[in-house]
Amino acid sequence: MQYLVSVIFDKAGLATPDEDAAIDVFNDRLMAEGHWVFAGGLAAPSSATVIDNRGEEALFTDGPFLESKEYLAGFWIIEAADLDVTLKLAAEGSKACNRKVEVRPFL
Amino acid sequence: MREAITLAHHEEWARVVASLTRRFSDLDIAEEAAAEAFATAVERWQADGVPPNPGAWLTTTANRKAIDRIRREDKRGHKQKEAQLLYDDDPPEPPGAIDDERLRLIFTCCHPALAMETRVALTLRMIAGLTMPEIARAFLVQETTMEKRITRAKAKIKAARIPYRVPSAEDLPARVSGVLAVLYLVFNEGYLATGPDTDPVRHDLTAEAIRLTRLIRALMPQDGEVAGLLALMLLTEARRTARVSASGELVTLDEQDRGSWDAALIAEGHRLVRERLAAGVAPGRYQILAAISAVHTSARDVRDTDWSQVVALYDQLVRLDPSPIIALNRAIAVAELDGPEVALAAVDRLEGKLAGYHAYHATRADLLRRLGRSVQSRAAYDKAIEIAGNTAETAYLTRRRDELG
């Protein structure tokens, strides 16, 4: 079973060196224990482009699809047996990156 | 016959739902099939008499209903594991394993990833077997709202894979305390029901909470907090009939007719408190609250109350849980020991945190009244009446205010 762990943040700026170091330690653990699928940090929402090609021609719009105070700053995709395991890992992830996280199961 | 069905419902509902949940890994199927099996029982037992083993009859019938549903859905193209259907004639589970299953079901329903109100609703539906209209009525929401809440919860449990098992030893204390919080909430909603059109005391809810806590106690007999919560509920329930007057007004502890307290419930509650004292393990909050209740219910007359013991227990509780509500209750006991002036000073310090809580204003009103400060007392009663949600309490506070000189 795979879960998306989204990192939610509400300020400008990237992870500090301390946060980066803690994230590295956490990632190593995910790999060692077989939970790791993928992870990444994202550039600021202002760097996003929305594409809509449902009509005649593709429309490109500058900026994120949703303007909001909180935004997606990065994510993990983890493999875990159930939500209890995932919640524990997500709690550690939140501590490591020093941000709120949201857990959502893949279908 | 009605009685046989009601009894079977009380005794067997959670067992049937739990065993189906394990077998089909789907709360929705389990709940629906269990409900259908009980509906069939109402018809069939009427005609054929109560079967010798109602539990086994219900489980077998519910299993068939579940398989019927899965087959129906299969025809409509749903993917289901045909293999599960091969075990149609499974022998019933041995009793020990089934008890375990009910416990699993409780932990699933009270999972911390679900909203508190959802945990309460799911527990009342899946474990207590209350119907959707009953639960909706209990919490004063529309039936459709309650149905949506439960449907959404079942979908989340399935999609996010909330596990169906007893938590690991390491997580157990926190998770048990989560279950107890749900049961205490159900009990309190029954004991001090909110809403202008509700009975001030909802015996159906307090009885259900006690029944569920007894079940948990049977499943986890060594847990001190489970025993503590059960004792607390019993000692509170014992005073239920003395708590509201014939005219529908709240009767405070000091004015209650102690002769009308339920002696059997008090004896059982006291036994549990003594059992925990004898265990010699540091008590948790429910055990301390039960001990406070035991001190009150040991006094034949309010003047015999051992207030220093009550305050000492509150001191112990404050160290464990420094919440302002505990501090408020401690102050009420302090008033009896050191006088209303000392108590009022303690209560006033809580204003920042409790200004929106009716009991804060009601306590101040009472202390100010005892100090002869009528004008301030009246203002505090006004505030308490404005916020109080319980009809009997509002009636009591109004009378007290109107008696002020």
Say which residue the tokens 């900026």 belong to. Answer: A63
Instruction: Give contacts of A 64-103 with B, CB under 8 A.
Output: 81-84, 87, 103
Maximum Cα interatomic distance, chain A, rounded to a whole number of Å? 48
Q: What's the total number of domains in chain B?
A: 1
Q: Which of A84, A104, A105 sits opposite B163 (nearest CB)?
A: A84
Question: With contacts defined as CB-CB under 8 Å, which chain B residues touch A4?
Answer: none
Question: With contacts defined as CB-CB under 8 Å, which chain B residues touch A82?
Answer: 161-163
Question: With contacts defined as CB-CB under 8 Å, which chain B residues touch A87?
Answer: 112-113
Judged against a pLDDT cut of 80, whether residue B356 lies above it is answered with yes
Length of chain A measured in residues: 107
**Three-class DSSP category at A72:** strand
Closest A-chain CA to B107: A84
| CA of residue B385 relative to chain centroid, distance | 26
pLDDT 10s digits, B61-81: 999 999 999 998 877 665 545
The answer to the question of residue B89 being in a domain is yes
The answer to the question of residue B2 being in a domain is yes
Min mean pLDDT across B74-83, B235-244, B279-288, B378-387 is at B74-83
Q: What is the pLDDT of residue B89?
A: 45
The answer to the question of residue B30 being in a domain is yes
Token code pair at residue A55: 């009509």
Beta-carbon contacts of B361 under 8 Å, excluding residues fewer than 6 positions away, are: B380, B381, B383, B384, B387
Fold (CATH) for A2-105: Alpha-Beta Plaits (3.30.70)
Q: What distance in Å separates the CA atoms of residue A37 and residue A3, rounded to the nearest whole number?
A: 10
Mean pLDDT of B209-220: 89
pLDDT, mean over chain B: 88
| Interchain pair B167, A84: CB under 8 A | yes
Say what the ipTM of the complex is. 0.87
Length of chain B measured in residues: 405
User: How far does the CA of residue A84 sit from the closest CA of chain B (Å)?
Assistant: 7
Judged against a pLDDT cut of 50, whether residue A53 lies above it is answered with yes
Residue A68: closest CA among A10, A6, A3, A5: A10
Helices B95-109 & B203-219, crossing angle to 10 degrees? 130
Q: Does A4 touch chain B (CB under 8 A)?
A: no
The domain of B18 spans 1-93
Closest B-chain CA to A1: B161
> Residue type for B107, please?
F
The answer to the question of residue B366 being in a domain is no
Beta-carbon contacts of B378 under 8 Å, excluding residues fewer than 6 positions away, are: B365, B401, B404
The answer to the question of residue B292 being in a domain is no
Judged against a pLDDT cut of 50, whether residue B84 lies above it is answered with no
Question: With contacts defined as CB-CB under 8 Å, which chain B residues touch A105?
Answer: 159-161
B247 neighbors B189 (Cβ within 8 angstroms): no
What are the C-alpha distances in Å from A24 to residues A30, A37, A92, A99? 10, 15, 12, 15
Sheet holding A2-9, edge to edge: A36-41, A71-79, A2-9, A100-105
Residue A1: closest CA among B17, B163, B70: B163
Question: With contacts defined as CB-CB under 8 Å, which chain A residues touch B111?
Answer: 83
Min mean pLDDT across A52-61, B79-88, B274-283 is at B79-88
Judged against a pLDDT cut of 60, whether residue B287 lies above it is answered with yes
Torsion-angle region of residue A78: left (phi > 0), alpha (psi -120 to 50) or beta? beta
Choose, out of B161, B168, B170, B171, the residue to mutate when testing the contact with A (most A CBs < 10 Å).
B161
Q: What is the pLDDT of residue A40?
A: 94
Maximum Cα interatomic distance, chain B, rounded to a whole number of Å? 79
Judged against a pLDDT cut of 80, whether residue B99 lies above it is answered with no
| Interchain pair B160, A105: CB under 8 A | yes
Min mean pLDDT across B13-17, B198-202, B368-372 is at B198-202
User: How far does the CA of residue A2 sit from the closest CA of chain B (Å)?
Assistant: 9
Question: With contacts defined as CB-CB under 8 Å, which chain A residues touch B163?
Answer: 81-84
Q: Which of B111, B159, B171 sits opposite A105 (nearest CB)?
A: B159
Q: Which residues of B touch A (CB under 8 A)?
A: 111-113, 159-163, 167, 171
Q: What distance in Å separates the CA atoms of residue B377 and residue B388, rounded to the nearest whole number?
A: 16
pLDDT 10s digits, B226-273: 999 999 999 999 999 898 888 888 898 989 999 999 999 999 999 999
* Burial class of B150 by CB neighbour count within 10 A (0 to 12, 13 to 18, 19+): buried
